[in-house]
Amino acid sequence: MNRKQKKELRQHLSTRQLMGIDQLTEHGLKTARGELIFYLVSPDNLSVLSAEGVRGRVRALTELLRSVEAVELLQSCGLALHKKETFIDTRERTVFRHLSPEEKAKIVAENPLYGRIICRCETVTEGEIVEAIHRPIVPRSIDGIKRRCNAGMGRCQGGFCGPRVHEILSRELNLPLDQILMDEEGSYILTQPTKEGK
């Protein structure tokens, strides 16, 4: 089998087959060789992620692998899954910090929101955040913005830019500040006013 044939064969394999995964469990996986691998992630004092943040990353990996399992299950039940020819596998996104000085000046002239840096650690502009909010699948939480354009992924983990992202989400989604979530349902940042003028 030549290199081209091997490449074509790999394109038809599932992610789990490529990774050699036979079975997924909540805390690990069993490989094709019969080995059981456990997820053991323990942040040390050098980590910028909390223990819950690390658990969230492991949970996301597990969910990703489980979704691949679901697709394979649907196929085995006879559901015909067809490749969508019009699928766009790359999305165009403006990453301000990767632009040349000339490109930065041009984009700021076209849209002044790109001239306001919101996340200093990752150099993410208000224009990038607004662009992410107006994509077809709308991020409705601060962590959603974090995953889309990296605002809050830097050294301060959103300590500086979090309140600004909160305000931008509220403004662009036309929601009150107390309805904006950190991540999952129920993870409210604001619950009630601390002071009320009477």
- Residue ranges per structural domain of the chain: 3-76, 96-179
Average pLDDT in the 94-103 region? 88
Cα atoms in the 13 Å half-sphere on the side-chain side of 77: 7
Give the C-alpha separation, 4 to 136, whole Å: 36
Percentage of the chain modeled with pLDDT above 90: 19
7 CB burial (10 A radius; 0-12, 13-18, 19+): exposed
**C-alpha count within 13 angstroms, C-beta hemisphere, residue 124:** 27
Question: Which pLDDT tens digit goes with each residue over 147-189?
Answer: 888 888 888 888 888 899 999 999 999 998 888 888 888 778 8
The pLDDT of residue 45 is 47
For residues 105-119, give the mean pLDDT.
92
CB 116 within 8 A of CB 125: yes
CATH classification code of 96-179: 1.10.10.1100
Q: Is 125 helix (H, G, I), strand (E, B) or coil?
A: strand
Torsion angles phi and psi, residue 195, rounded to 5:
-135, 135
